[in-house]
Every structure is written in C-alpha cells, then in structure tokens.
Amino acid sequence: MLPLAFEITSAGQPHLIKAPGEVVRIARQAEDAGFSAVMLPEGGNDSLLACYAIALGTSKIRIGTSIAIIYNRQPTLCASAAVTVQEASRGRLILGLGVGHRPVLEAMGITPAANSREKLREYTLALKQIFAGQSAAMRVPPPTWPIPVQLGALTTETARLAGEIADGVQLFMCTPERLRKLVKAVREGARSRGRNPDEVAIAFGMPVFIHDDLQQAYARARRFLKLYTMLPFHRRQIIRNGFGAEAEAARAAGERGDKAAQEAALTDQLLDSLAFVGPVSRCIERIEQYRDAGAQILNIVPGTNETSDELCQTIRAFGRYL
C-alpha cells in the first residue's frame, strides 16, 4: 500500500489565509484518517507559517511545504523558519523547495534568476550549510531533528539535481511512464555523487477531481487544469507527457480569451493521464500504478475550487484506501 499525503492549498480559498484554525482542522482530519503527511503549497500564502500552525495543532502527521518558493525568502530566513517549525513539530517537517513560475513571480515584482535551476542548487546547498552550523552568515541554531530538503521537479534535469544534493524530490502530474523516467534521473544523479539512491525520497503529487458523475468530474478537471496550460513550466510538463497538440491548442485559446475552447482542448485521455478523475473507487484503482513506477508517497492534490468541507470529504473518501 502506497502511503498518502494530502495537500491543503489556499489558492481558490483565500479565506484559509485568514482562518488558520480551518487549516489545522483539515490537517487533523488527515491525521485521523491515516494520511502520512499534509503538504502546504505557496501561492498568496506563507507555507512555512501554515506548517507552524499545523505543527502546534497535530501530534504525529508529517508536515511539508510543496513547495516553498526560493525567491520569497533569503536562505537564512528560510532556515530560521524551518528550524522553528521543526522544533514545534518535534521532527515532522519536510522542507520542499522550488523556483515557482516566472509569470507569477514577475507579477509580484520578483525577477527570477536567468538560470533558476542553478539558483535552486545554490540555495539548497546554502541551507544545508546553515543547518549543519557551517555557514558564516547570521547564526541559526542547528535543528534538534534533521530537516529533510526535497526539491520540486518537473524536468529530468531538476530531478537529477535532487538526486545529487537533496534528501528527496517532489514530482508532479505525469503518467507512470514519465514518472519512471524522472525516478531514473533522480537515482542517476545520486549515484553520480557517490550517494545511495535509496536514501533519496520519491514523493509524487497528482491532481484529484472527485465526483460520482464522471462527466461532472471531467468538467471540474477542465476548469482547473486549463490554468496550467498558461503557465510555461506546467504546459511543458503536459507536452512532455505526450499531449503537445492539446497543450498548444489550449494555450492559444486561453490567449484569445476563449475559455470554452481552452477547456475543450483538454481531452478525456489527457485528463485521465494527468489526474485522478471520477468516483473515488476509480481514482484509488490507479494509485498502485504510481507505486510500481517508483513513488514512495503519493500527494493527493484536490482541485482548488473545493470548499473546506469538500476537502474533508475527500480526505475521508481516500481514507478508505489507507
């Protein structure tokens, strides 16, 4: 049985930023249902601050960022916040790092580095030095419990980087065949640095759109995933999974403001390949394919148009698998 994590996102639910108690309530539901971890992405919120709230309100579930964007905080500040969360959680934090999306960052007034992958390398190594007490920067007390650092990766190059320098990788939204290729890159990266590949954790996230009516589930998935075709990293991810024509048709429709055509470009085959769609039983049937492809934990990523109560219903539904 593949362990499950559950993602709690404020995107589409901005009230969660103003209601940390709701975030904690959802995390407790996941803990009670037997989920191995809750994961907090960053989009209009501070993922480490949300992790801190959950650390105080839960007792055993792992807590992770998925991902904390490196451009949002200096390495020393990130390290200090991570140590605080790790102490509060008594060793349950997983620090997932990533570069974010250029259009989103630029809209926030942030200019990403010309080579964000190298920036991610530098940032990760700086954090590891700080955690080990080897940095000449402002002193941050070393954590009582080690803080595993995982890198968000959509490409084989970044997956390989995770194998070279990180404690794990967070992969996302792909077919089992694509996942095998990414896992292979992680393992090769680890071996190239004389590391044990088995010590690099493989986490995998998949969007989930649950409804007993399959057509309504497809409609929900189309409304959500059409946004991904407008983000360069995710659009290229869709193309790499074999849906180039669909991705480009959706992008073109989105650029001319034709939302109906943008959604229509996302075929049922694409949705079934890059998301879990339909009744819960139909979604659960696919989980083991990803364990066989190399995932060691699967992050359930609900569609962002779900209410807090719907998120809890999704937790309980997948709890039947655990």
Looking at the structure, tell me whether residues 112 and 89 fall in a common domain.
yes
The pLDDT value recorded for residue 256 is: 95
Looking at the structure, tell me whether residues 233 and 302 fall in a common domain.
no
Is residue 61 over pLDDT 70?
yes
Residue with tokens 């992958």: 117
* Alpha-carbon 30 to chain mean position: 16
* pLDDT tens-digit readout, 17-54: 778 889 999 999 999 999 999 999 998 789 999 999 99
Looking at the structure, tell me whether residues 259 and 113 fall in a common domain.
no
Quote the domain boundaries for residue 68. Answer: 4-211+279-319
Q: Rg for the chain (alpha carbons), in Å?
A: 19
The pLDDT value recorded for residue 308 is: 84
Residue with tokens 């690099």: 200
Distance CA 171, CA 178 (A): 10
Looking at the structure, tell me whether residues 150 and 62 fall in a common domain.
yes
In three-state secondary structure terms, 256 is coil
> pLDDT band at residue 100, thresholds of 50, 70 and 90?
confident
The pLDDT value recorded for residue 107 is: 80
CATH number of domain containing 39: 3.20.20.30
Distance CA 83, CA 67 (A): 17
**Mean pLDDT across 145-163:** 97
Residue 51 class from Cβ within 10 Å (0-12 exposed, 13-18 middle, 19+ buried)? Answer: buried
Distance CA 108, CA 71 (A): 11
Looking at the structure, tell me whether residues 302 and 290 fall in a common domain.
yes
Residue 118's contacts (CB-CB under 8 Å, 6 or more residues apart) are none
Residue 114's contacts (CB-CB under 8 Å, 6 or more residues apart) are none
Looking at the structure, tell me whether residues 30 and 168 fall in a common domain.
yes
> pLDDT band at residue 305, thresholds of 50, 70 and 90?
low
> pLDDT band at residue 106, thresholds of 50, 70 and 90?
confident
Domain count, the chain: 2
Looking at the structure, tell me whether residues 123 and 260 fall in a common domain.
no
154 closest CA partner among 142, 146, 162: 162
The pLDDT value recorded for residue 154 is: 95
Instruction: Name the least confident of 74-78, 91-95, 109-113, 253-257.
Output: 109-113
Check residue 198 and report its DSSP letter: G
Looking at the structure, tell me whether residues 168 and 183 fall in a common domain.
yes
Contact 63, 40 (CB under 8 A): yes
Q: What percent of the chain has pLDDT over 70?
A: 97
Distance CA 227, CA 99 (A): 18
Mean pLDDT of the chain: 93
Angle formed at CA 66 by CA 65 and CA 67, multiple of 5 degrees = 90
Question: H/E element holding 201?
Answer: strand 201-210
Question: Regarding predicted confidence, which is higher, 285 or 305?
Answer: 285
The pLDDT value recorded for residue 137 is: 65
Q: What is the DSSP string of 280-297?
A: HHHHHHHHHHHHHTT-SE
- The helix-helix angle for 280-292 and 176-192 (nearest 10°) equals 30
* pLDDT tens-digit readout, 189-212: 999 999 999 999 999 999 999 999
Distance CA 84, CA 81 (A): 5
CA distances from 257 to 12, 199, 211, 218 (A): 20, 46, 28, 21
Looking at the structure, tell me whether residues 238 and 294 fall in a common domain.
no
Looking at the structure, tell me whether residues 31 and 51 fall in a common domain.
yes
Is residue 310 over pLDDT 90?
no
Looking at the structure, tell me whether residues 165 and 242 fall in a common domain.
no
* pLDDT tens-digit readout, 226-278: 999 998 889 999 999 999 999 999 999 999 999 999 999 999 999 999 999 99
Distance CA 283, CA 302 (A): 12
Q: What percent of the chain has pLDDT over 90?
A: 82
Cβ atoms within 10 Å, residue 248: 15
Looking at the structure, tell me whether residues 146 and 163 fall in a common domain.
yes
